[in-house]
Amino acid sequence: MASKKGKTGKSWQSRLTAQADGATAKLLASIDVDRALWGYDIAGSMVHARMLRKVALISAKDLKAINRGLTAVAEDLSAGVLACPVELEDIHMVIEKALIDRIGEPGRKLHTGRSRNDQVALDLRLWARDAADELTEGVRVLQKAFVAMAQAQGRIVMPAYTHTQRAQPIVAGHALMAYVEMLRRDVERLADARKRINVCPLGAGAVAGSSLPIDRRMTAALLGFSAVAANSIDAVSDRDFLAELCFACTMLAVHLSRWAEDWILYSTTEFGMLELSDDYCTSSSMMPQKKNADTLELIRGKAACTLANLTGIVTLLKGLPLAYNRDMQDDKRFAFAAVDAMRQSLPVATGIVATSRFRPARIAAGLDAGFLDATALAEYLVNHGTAFRQAHQLVGRLVAQAERLGKTLAQLPLETLREFCGRVDKDVYNYLGPARVVAHYRPEGAGGTKQLDQQIREWKKKLAR
Name the β-bridge partners of 162: 165
Find the shortest distance in angstroms from Cβ 189 to ligand ARG.
26
| Among 329, 345, 356, 451, interactor with ligand ARG by CB under 6 A | 329
H or E stretch covering 99: helix 91-103
Distances 454 to 88, 153, 284, 290, 367 between C-alpha atoms, Å: 59, 15, 43, 40, 25
CB of 96 to ligand ARG, least distance (A): 12
Distance CA 120, CA 102 (A): 23
For the CB of residue 119, give the shortest distance to ligand ARG in the complex, in Å: 7
284 is catalytic: yes
CA quadruple 274, 277, 278, 280: dihedral sign: negative
Q: Which of 68, 181, 150 is nearest to 353 (CA)?
A: 150
Task: Kindly state whether residue 328 participates in binding ligand ARG, applying the rule CB under 6 A.
Answer: yes
The phi and psi torsions of 369 (rounded to 5 degrees) equal: -75, 145
> Is residue 198 a contact residue for ligand ARG (CB under 6 A)?
no
Which one, 86 or 221, has the nearer CB to ligand ARG?
Answer: 86
Shortest separation between residue 41's beta carbon and ligand ARG, angstroms: 10
The yes or no reply on residue 34 touching ligand ARG (CB under 6 A) is yes
Chain Cα centroid distance, residue 272: 30
Of 41, 87, 90, 244, the residue at the interface with ligand ARG (CB under 6 A) is: 90
> What DSSP state is assigned to residue 20?
P
The angle at the Cα of 290, spanning 284 to 295, to the nearest 5 degrees, equals: 75
**In angstroms, rounded to a whole number, what is the distance separating the alpha carbons of residues 464 and 178?**
19
- Judged by CB under 6 A, the residue of 30, 168, 250, 356 near ligand ARG is 30
Q: Which stretch binds ligand ARG (CB under 6 A): 105-113, 244-252, 322-330, 359-367?
A: 322-330
Mask for 92-121, x = binds ligand ARG (CB under 6 A) = ------------------------xx--x-
From the candidates 284, 345, 384, 392, give the one annotated as an active-site residue: 284
Contact 321, 285 (CB under 8 A): no
Minimum CB distance to ligand ARG, residue 361 (Å):
58
Strands, DSSP E only, in 266-322? 274-275
Residue 251: CB minimum distance to ligand ARG, A: 26
Q: Of the two residues 28 and 160, which places its CB atom closer to ligand ARG in the complex?
A: 28
**Is 48 annotated in the active site?**
no
Residues 6+ apart with CB under 8 A from 6: 13, 14, 15, 16, 17
Active site residue: 3, 163, 211, 285, which one?
A: 163
Residues forming the site for ligand ARG (CB under 6 A): 30, 34, 89-90, 116-117, 120, 324, 326, 328-329
Write out the catalytic residue numbers: 163, 284
